[in-house]
Structure 1
């Protein structure tokens, strides 16, 4: 076997494991995704599953990183070149809610893992917090740009608005996963538009 083929196969195997980890974690929680469960699900040995990562924790961290990369590709990348402000922020939330329900998704992996690890200190919690902090910084930047452009009422407290937008996203995720409400994403889009209504 050529080195190039073996690297390609290793990369494909790693991607397959991560893909299944993300799918299972939305249902069982990330902590519920064990090496044994993955091995059975993928028809692999436990050594074959853990090999690309080294430890279960490294697998979980890699899953968080993969989820972040997919979120960026689906939600943020399409906004490249758009003017900052509330219009771009509405589009970002629309894309996020669409991502929660696309291709058999059952909500947002990062939102689910944040709830699972919110009171459990450690590297996974730290990685999720860092990812969500970057999203918060993006949202605040868009809100500040919208406020400066007169798209929001003068004196709008952007930190409060960020808090309320977080609440909409959490409600959307719960509506999709827990309540299996087919209208959850639509209701979330309406809520975002109400919060970001022009001055």
Structure 2
């Protein structure tokens, strides 16, 4: 057996071990997300997760090292999934109001799915709003990243001529985010019927206020490009 052949086997075994470790960590994270949706980030612990996954505490600890690291990993995983479900699919829509509308609609759909499980962005903010530290910092960073993406979508809608030139992206974002918070509160806490439809109507009302043309404010319409810039 040559030296090169002898070296291949340990390398393959190492790769398999690494892959298995990654799969195990992904499975633990998936269970941690489900648990956090039920008991909140604060209720998440190495011990509780070990019980749910039927692993030893040392086995879970080997993948995360601490309860704080586990909480931060869950926040990042939640954000990654949020991007995959809400942000990235909306990017296929035309620039401007169609894309902004798609972002909001996908956000609403996600909230509707989370009525029974809860939104980590919202529940985490309640848990850590007055508790400085790495977990709060990680959560705030993820929420800010999403807000920046929405703010950019609003700015692009202004550039495309779909929204009035004097539109304040921060103000419009504040109003849109307020709809989501109200939706979460009324649908999850009060169990009010029709909350999702009211959120959608609220969005169209906001759009009608900022749109350059009132006809753009309709849920089933894709606004035509409207701009004074030269197309040449």
Give the paired residue count: 199
Q: Which has the larger radius of gyration?
A: 2
Q: CA RMSD in A?
A: 2.2
Q: Is 1:56 matched up with 2:67?
A: yes
| Match of residue 143 from structure 1 | 154
Q: RCO (CA 8 Å, sep 6+): is it higher in 1 or 2?
A: 1
Q: Is 1:163 matched up with 2:174?
A: yes
Q: Tell me the CA shift for residue 177 of structure 1.
A: 2.7
Q: Tell me the CA shift for residue 182 of structure 1.
A: 5.2
Q: Quick one: which of 120, 130, 133 aligns to 2:141?
A: 130
TM-score (normalised: structure 2): 0.77
109-118 vs 33-42, greater mean Cα deviation: 109-118
| Match of residue 131 from structure 2 | 120
SS at 1:30 equivalent: coil
TM-score (normalised: structure 1): 0.89
- In structure 1, list runs of 5 or more residues that go unmatched: none
Asked if the contact 2:38/2:118 (under 8 Å) is kept, the reply is no
- In structure 2, list runs of 5 or more residues that go unmatched: 1-11, 213-232
Separation in 2, partners of 1:105, 1:96 = 16
Asked if the contact 1:117/1:125 (under 8 Å) is kept, the reply is yes
Q: Is 1:26 matched up with 2:5?
A: no
Separation in 2, partners of 1:17, 1:174 = 29
